[in-house]
Amino acid sequence: MLVTIDGIVIGRRPIGENNCFIDVLTDEYGVIEVTAHGIRKINSKNSGACSLFAYSRFCLAKNGLKYTLNSAEPKFSFHGISADIEALSLATYFAEIFKATTAPEQEAAGFLRLMAISLFEIEKRRINLPQIKAVFELRIASMLGFSPDLRACRNCICYEHELMYFDFGNSTIICADCVGENAELYTELTPTLLYSMRYIVYSPVEKIFHFNLKTGILIQLEQFCEKYLLQHLDREFRSLDYYKSIKI
């Protein structure tokens, strides 16, 4: 049967001279592998819509779990990303996260939108790449079902405190008054850091990148978000190692 779906190309592997497997992130079917005949030919009408990180509408022949490209129309392409190795490596890390966490044929509502917004920010650079990375990591962790509970101190239910702590053991926060002698077991959260984390987790996805942080807080946020995501996924990413190795 023929299906028409929107998706973002998050991976490409050549087959022979002219053909490719493309990995497409979709809301309806998760990440699917599509056989795309002829798209490496110079005159292929589908090559642009099937390029890496293109956001396109795909018409696919679906046969069980196998998909073959019929045609594709580009909706949006993020050309600028491929021209910058640091931007490209960050986008590749995001793609690897989706490939590792999204099963084929499983609905993944909201992931396509998050990836599209993240690629847009990587290309536009209204905020710097380390902040885009941190925001993405914490938000995708939440969307994958690992949302931290940042609402209030787990003991006295206070919302604000001059110093809160994060418990990586059960993803909750506890204030300085309630933490007692166990403070060294937890991670300190200043009010600005906690505010940023709440903003990332609880805001509508369209707004998550709309804030700026000073360098000191950004470093703390970066460390927190990367540790949080990797702890929950319990794995390493080669693309992340590469991103860090070339980071200026």
Binding mask 107-146 for Zn ion (x = CB under 5 A): ----------------------------------------
Nearer to Zn ion, 108 or 175 (CB): 175
Please write down the HEC assignment for all residues of the chain: CEEEEEEEEEEEEEECCCEEEEEEEECCCEEEEEEECCCCCCCCCCCCCCCCCEEEEEEEEEECCEEEEEEEEEEEECHHHHCCHHHHHHHHHHHHHHHHHCCCCCCCCCHHHHHHHHHHHHHHCCCCHHHHHHHHHHHHHHHHHHCCEEEEECCCCCCCCCCEEEECCCCEEEECCCCHHHHHHCEEECHHHHHHHHHHHHCCHHHCCCCCCCHHHHHHHHHHHHHHHHHHHCCCCHHHHHHHHHCC
The residue whose two tokens read 């903003």 is 199
Residue 175 CB, nearest distance to Zn ion (Å)?
Answer: 3
Give the residue with the Cβ less far from Zn ion, 86 or 167: 167
Cβ proximity to Zn ion, 56 vs 172, nearer residue? 172
Choose one: 5-13, 19-27, 176-184, 201-209; the region binding Zn ion (CB under 5 A): 176-184
Whichever of 112 and 153 has its CB closer to Zn ion, that residue is 153
Tokens 């990375």 belong to: 133
User: Closest CB to Zn ion among 136 and 165?
Assistant: 165
178 binds Zn ion (CB under 5 A): yes
Q: Candidates 70, 82, 155, 203: give the one binding Zn ion (CB under 5 A).
A: 155
User: Using CB under 5 A, which of the segments 60-68, 98-106, 178-186, 212-220 binds Zn ion?
Assistant: 178-186
Nearest distance in Å: CB 203, Zn ion: 24
CB of 232 to Zn ion, least distance (A): 25
Should residue 71 be labelled a site residue for Zn ion when binding is judged by CB under 5 A? no
CB of 161 to Zn ion, least distance (A): 7
Instruction: Tell me if 153 contacts Zn ion by CB under 5 A.
Output: yes
Verify binding: residue 147, Zn ion, rule CB under 5 A: no
* Nearest-5° Cα angle at 141, 136 to 146: 160
Options 103, 156, 219, 246; binder of Zn ion; rule CB under 5 A: 156
- What residue ranges bind Zn ion (CB under 5 A)? 153, 155-156, 175, 178
